[in-house]
A and B are shown apart, each in its own frame.
Chain A
Amino acid sequence: LLKSCLVVIYRPETEPIEALMMEMQNPDTGIKTQTQRVLITNIPHAVAGNDIFQWILQRLQITEEEALHLGDLFVKYGYIYPLLEPKNLTLKTDGSLYRFQTPYFWPAQSWPADDTDYAIYLAKKNIKRKGILEEYEKEHYNMLNQKINYKWDFVIMQAKEQYKAGKERKKADRYALDCQERAYWLVNRAPPGMLDVLEYGLNRVTDPNEKKVNQVRQGLLVKYSEQFLSNDPILSGCLPSNPWITDDPDFWDLNAKLVEVPTRMRVERWAFNFNELIRDPKGRQNFQLFLRKEFSGENLSFWEACEDLKYGDQSKVKEKAEEIYKLFLAPGARRWINIDGTTMGITVKGLQHPHRYVLDAAQTHIYMLMKKDSYGRYLKSPVYKEMLAKAVVPQETVKKRQGPPWGLLSSAQTKPLNPCEVKVTAAAAEQRASYLQVAAGTRLVALEEAGFFLKWVFPSQDEGCVVNLGRLNCSCFLKLSMRCQSQTGWCFFLCSSSTPQPSKQERGIMDFHTIVSSKAYFQVSGKNPPADLLRVWLVFP
């Protein structure tokens, strides 16, 4: 939109809008000015809104709508200010008068509207008009008095001096200067109710100090993650085994939709929240058993029918809707569900022109009813408890492949490799594992087997450590990481076996590299806090 003006005068330090403003001054091609009359004073250089609008239209060759919008923005951002209604920052395409703002007050300048300046302005206004500040200005003033109290004497002094300096000018100039300044602050400290384009001040739309993540949602997310941690097959493993790793599909069989006997974890999950229960077909089955005992089985049936309407064959929507009505909703229906009058009214009306979501209101009502009423009792009921008792806990199969699940790179192999060559045992200090040698001078604190985590401590920052990995039957990747205890993150040092110097230092995801020989050398160096723990992960493909 504004590129066209760049062709004419473009100087690197000029913003496009500024360039346009300057063009508007051209005695031949710019906007013509008028004189504003204020009581007995004449102030030159007023421009009519319509003239501005026409000029933009003509100059940029854009549509009227765009030109109006652009002109409006000029006013909102304070390049041009209205004379008669200072707070109405819009462009009127009539004879309403505006004036160009002095460049000092242009918003494009790389200095933001300063709190100190604003305080001085308000103090000046206070002096001038004998205390007539608007309510929001008083609030600002008070707030600033506290915020920058240490320089308040300066603020008052400077306000007085600026006021005096202003009085030295002739009346028309003084008026224009006042208008300019007022216009500037209306843009930069917008009064309440006015759109605050620059988002400063008391009525800022977004709080700059607020953390971006919604705290409530974050809390819920954390709760959810904690609750489901044990059920997460990646984080907590799954029993009997992860089929993707072991190629044993037992896990899937045991968790089939309507398996005879569900697993314990699954049944426990039904107690997390109502949604977990109702989304699990086995859960629904069990829940229905309970509901029948309470003679409210039609609720769940209705709910299921609604789901079928929504997600089932859409060519049969009309018939399905009719059937549902006859069975559940019609007066005297065989399985009449109890919903309130309003909802019933909406539903019946909607059924005149049925579609997949026509029963949403009723379905939600029934859902909430079950959730708030039946669900609680269900969890305490013998039906549920029996199921829980009956539920199986599969045995972990022996054929498990070891290694951090997420480190596994290829699943093409049918035969898992035997990683038992690298054996480490939990030990006290000074113990050496068969295939792990640590260089002299390194104090060995503990070695433990935790999916190949080996830990030891460097006594000092610049010590090196050689890890002899002994004989390995296969190539593997060496992943090194070091954790500085004072930090929450990980510092990674990756070294190659061929060069003794660290080849890369990265945070976060590390590169893998193959160990050619069975030796890896690495070194801690640098200005970072000394690493307390070193972990070596051996990840097998």
Chain B
Amino acid sequence: MCRARGAAGMCATAQAALCKATAGHRQLVLQLGGSADGPRLREERCRRSAEAVPHPAGLRQALLAGLRQGPASPEERRELERLWVLFLSALELFLQDLRRAHHLCQLFSMQGGGTAPLRTGLGGWGPPGHKGSRRGGGPTQPPAARCLEEEIEQVRATLAEMESRANIPLWTVEATQPVGTGGTAAPAAGVGEERTGQCWHPPCLLRHQGAGDRALLTVPPHPGPGR
């Protein structure tokens, strides 16, 4: 998903990557304490999290720079603000999941005998035939917990910094995506979204916020986000 130019373009790419990493990470956290839980799952979680973590720093720099130096056009500015909000949202979700992971890892500690995970219907994580070993041993402070605590702190600090550095009122950002993509009722449906088939399109999409009366489905000034 690249924009035609500049800071916004780079940011959008990074944003997409962050989103993907967050989603993958969440799916793993979901399984903590369940039948798929094990050292391998936790390693994988750590790996995904590590993938996600650099993005915030880079994105943050780019967005801040873009917003500070006065972007080329008001559209670019709006786009940067939009990305800013998306970035913030992704970080919040990511942080939320990190905290949950931390809690669950402690609740279902791998140490010693450990607590038997719940039989949730999922298969073990890892190559087929390998059942995650639960026997512990190893260092007193498991690396996973340390890893998590550091990550949490890092993301939290990033979020706090972002919120204090840029003063963007969230409500002024409008979504470019319609509620249901490829809806039949929308006349200006050339938003360029990926159509995933017949999706339900609720009748009321117009926002009534004060930021002008742009309808939700107007075509953005730039060509729609492509790949």
Contacts and interface: CB of A to CB of B under 8 A. Distances in A.
Interface of A: 13-14, 18, 21-22, 25-27, 33, 36, 43-46, 99-105, 109-111, 114, 116, 126-127, 130-133, 138, 141-142, 145-146, 149-154, 156-158, 161-162, 164-166, 169-170, 172-173, 176-177, 179-180
B19 A22 contact: no
Contacts of B173: 150-151
A150 B202 contact: no
A245 to B, nearest CB: 61
Contacts of B116: 22, 25-27
Given A103-B107, A130-B198, A131-B199, A33 B179 contact: no
B80 interface: no
Contact of A154 (B85, B108, B117, B197): B85
Contacts of B207: 146, 149
Contact of A45 (B29, B104, B121): B121
Contacts of B118: 21-22, 25, 100-103
Give the secondary structure class of B's interface: loop
Contact of B85 (A22, A110, A150, A180): A150
Interface stretch (B31-39, B56-64, B66-74, B145-153): B31-39
Contacts of B171: 150
Contacts of B202: 138, 141-142, 145
Interface in B117-136: 117-123
Contact of A173 (B123, B176, B180, B199): B123
A151 B33 contact: no
A109 B100 contact: yes
Contacts of B85: 150-151, 154
Contact of B121 (A145, A166, A179): A179
A169 to B, nearest CB: 8
B221 to A, nearest CB: 16
A197 to B, nearest CB: 21
Interface string B90-124: 10110010011001101110000001111111110
Contact of A158 (B19, B32, B180): B19
B41 interface: no
B119 A151 contact: no
Contact of B23 (A45, A131, A138, A164): A164
Contacts of B103: 109-110
A48 to B, nearest CB: 14
A149 B205 CA distance: 10
